[in-house]
Amino acid sequence: MKTFRVLDPTRPAPIRPGLCALAVMTKAPQAGQVKTRLIPPLTPDEAAELNKCFLRDTTAAISGVTIHNDASGIAVYTPSGAESTYVDILPGDFSLLPQRGVGFGERLCSAAEDLFRCGFDSVCLIDSDSPTVPPENFSKAIEFLKTRSDRIVLGPCDDGGYYLIGVKKPHRELFERIDWSTERVFDQTMRRARELGLEVKFLPSGYDIDDAAGLHRLSNELQRDSVHTEIAPHTRKFMRQLIVQKKL
Check residue 68 and give its pLDDT.
Answer: 82
pLDDT over 90 (residue 29): yes
Between 244 and 106, residue with greater pLDDT: 106
What residues does 20 pair with on adjacent strands? Answer: 71, 122
User: Model confidence at 228, in pLDDT bands (50, 70, 90)?
Assistant: low
Give the mean model confidence (pLDDT) for residues 206-217: 93
What is the chain's mean pLDDT, rounded? 93
| Domains, in order of start, for the chain | 15-244 (3.90.550.10)
Check residue 248 and give its pLDDT.
Answer: 56
Convert the pLDDT of each residue in 143-179 to its tens digit: 999 998 999 999 999 999 999 999 999 999 999 999 9
Check residue 118 and give its pLDDT.
Answer: 95
Q: Residue 164, by phi and psi: left (phi above 0), alpha (psi -120 to 50) or beta? A: beta
User: Model confidence at 241, in pLDDT bands (50, 70, 90)?
Assistant: confident
Check residue 222 and give its pLDDT.
Answer: 85
pLDDT over 80 (residue 106): yes
What one-letter code names the amino acid at 11?
Answer: R
Check residue 238 and give its pLDDT.
Answer: 94
Convert the pLDDT of each residue in 41-65 to its tens digit: 999 999 999 999 999 999 999 999 9
User: Model confidence at 1, in pLDDT bands (50, 70, 90)?
Assistant: low
- Per-position DSSP letters for 211-245, written without gaps between them: SHHHHHHHHHHHHH--S-TTSSHHHHHHHHHHHHT
Check residue 230 and give its pLDDT.
Answer: 82
CB 222 within 8 A of CB 232: yes
pLDDT over 80 (residue 246): no
**Where is 96: in which H helix or E strand?**
strand 95-98
Check residue 244 and give its pLDDT.
Answer: 73
